[in-house]
Chains A and B, each alone.
Chain A
């Protein structure tokens, strides 16, 4: 998976609890992305980062925040998880001109 790891790989949590997902890369790529994938919706961009401390919103950013304090790590936080955030979350990376490479995914269930 192109030097990308995601943790945890599976998580079950309860509504209202905070959740943080981690994406770690060893490729030193500048750009990092968080997507969610749901049946009938495909892959949708949540947030992305174009450098350390530089982030921006994607099309489904409500209820999510991100942080990038180091090149290699991109964190996605659900401040107060809801059942609608049950999904599979993918991290992706890219360099200046290359296309995106995806991690193995995190399967999150919010009860």
Chain B
């Protein structure tokens, strides 16, 4: 079983839809959870960062972490064509010297159609 599983999609939705992106993981030591957005031919950019369980909201984006189920989600409300990108989940346990060695999901490609 891979440490982090993420459905690669692709996922295609109409503009204005609510999008749900998910990852599951197997390592119970993970305590830092992130979502990155990657536009085509660009580097990943940090979208959301959460520690331990719970919800975090930032504008149209909500990140949820359920450590008991080893399941994290990213919700996008009122999706826009500009949200079309690949979304990567990432997580870590605190590593050597405090550095965060991230484990990434393979990414879900999202297209929001006007």
- The answer to whether B32 and A99 have CB atoms under 8 Å apart is yes
Nearest neighbor of B42 in chain A, beta-carbon distance: A104
Does B56 sit at the interface, judged by CB under 8 A? no
- Contacts A42-B106, A43-B44: A48 and B99 contacting too (C-beta < 8 A)? yes
Interface residues of chain B: helix, strand, loop or mixed (majority): mixed
Min CB distance B100 to A, Å, is: 6
Does A102 sit at the interface, judged by CB under 8 A? yes
A contact residues, range: 20 to 34
- The answer to whether B43 and A1 have CB atoms under 8 Å apart is yes
Instruction: From B43, B98, B99, B107, give the contact of A90 (CB < 8 A).
Output: B43
Question: A-contacting residues of B (Cβ < 8 Å)?
Answer: 32, 34, 36, 41-46, 49, 88, 96-102, 104-107
